[in-house]
Amino acid sequence: MKDMDKSFRKDTETEFPLREEMRPRTVTAPDGQVIEIDPLRDYFCEEAPKVHRKSYSAIVEGFYNWARANSLWILGFGTGCGAIEMRPLMTPRFDAYRYGIQWRPTPRQANLLIISGYLSVKTLKRAIRAYEQMQQPKFVVGLGSCTINGGMYWDSYNTIKRLDDYLPVDLYIAGCMPRPEALLAGLMELKKIIRRGEAEGANKYAENFDWYKANQKSVIKDWDMPDYSW
């Protein structure tokens, strides 16, 4: 099931050159001082994510979970063909706004990342960055069969098969493609999961950080970013 075959996994023998702007270099400042710059170390925070505890009081946590469930902000980031199934949710026919579901343009303000369809390795890199920049608690929904087992992209040389190996998925919506009704039903199901306090994907990600990173790095060929994008 895992993306194990040799043609797909990264060739770990040969070094992949860093992008030019990521290479360490020496720069002469305007005042004549010579500075060593290692972009990956200097520009980014290397710390690993933390596990964030629930609130001490069960009543408070329940209240918070109710608010989280009724104010789902989706990151406006469409990865595959499923992105087009999200548009009808914004318009009169399916109108998801009445359930407290909104779309936000920046990962900082979003709580829900919908991986809407097949995820090529190139997009996986961006999806990981977007996911890591979201604030806890955050949820991931895999939309369509391609996120479950690769779907029609089973044989693809450049598409991941199991999303759960790379990001902690809270809910899958099966189908190729699922119709907007299915998407809406899935979001209602996600609300129930959040209400029950079981949507702790961000903590799962932090706990099993090494495992997720190893999986991610085994397929992303040009890994030139910090381990966790704060």
Partner 1 sequence: MTFQWIQIPYALLTLFIILNYGMLMTALIQKIGARVGGRYGIPIWQNYIDLLKNIALRSKISHGVMFYLGPVFRLTGGIGLILFVPTIYGSVMHQNFSFAGDLILALYFVFFGTLGMALGAAESGHPHSAIGVSRGLSQVTAAELPLALGVFAISLQYQTLNITDIVAAQQGSIFNWTLFTNPLATVAAMFAFVGTMMRAPFDVVLAPQEIPIGPPTEYHSSYLALMQTNRVLYPIAKTVIYMNLFFGGATSWPEFFVKIFAIYMVSVFIGVVYPRFRVEQSIQFFLKWGLPVGVLAILMV
Footprint of partner 1 on this chain (CB under 8 A)?
Answer: 50, 52, 63-64, 67-68, 70-71, 76, 91-92, 95, 97-98, 100, 102, 104-106, 108-109, 111, 135-137, 230
Shortest Cβ 71–partner 1 spacing (Å): 4
Rank residues 137 and 144 by Cβ distance to partner 1 and give the closer one: 137
Contact 215, 165 (CB under 8 A): yes
Rank residues 136 and 149 by Cβ distance to partner 1 and give the closer one: 136
N residues, the chain: 230
Shortest Cβ 105–partner 1 spacing (Å): 3
Shortest Cβ 47–partner 1 spacing (Å): 11
Rank residues 78 and 144 by Cβ distance to partner 1 and give the closer one: 78
Terminal-residue alpha carbon distance, the chain? 31
Strand pairing report for 112-116 and 171-173: unpaired
Rank residues 71 and 208 by Cβ distance to partner 1 and give the closer one: 71
The maximal CA–CA distance of the chain, rounded, in angstroms, is: 64
DSSP string, 100-119: TEEEESSGGG--EEEEES--
Distance CA 37, CA 183 (A): 47
Shortest Cβ 14–partner 1 spacing (Å): 35
- Sheet containing strand 72-75, edge to edge, reads 101-104, 72-75, 112-116, 139-143, 171-173
Rank residues 8 and 64 by Cβ distance to partner 1 and give the closer one: 64
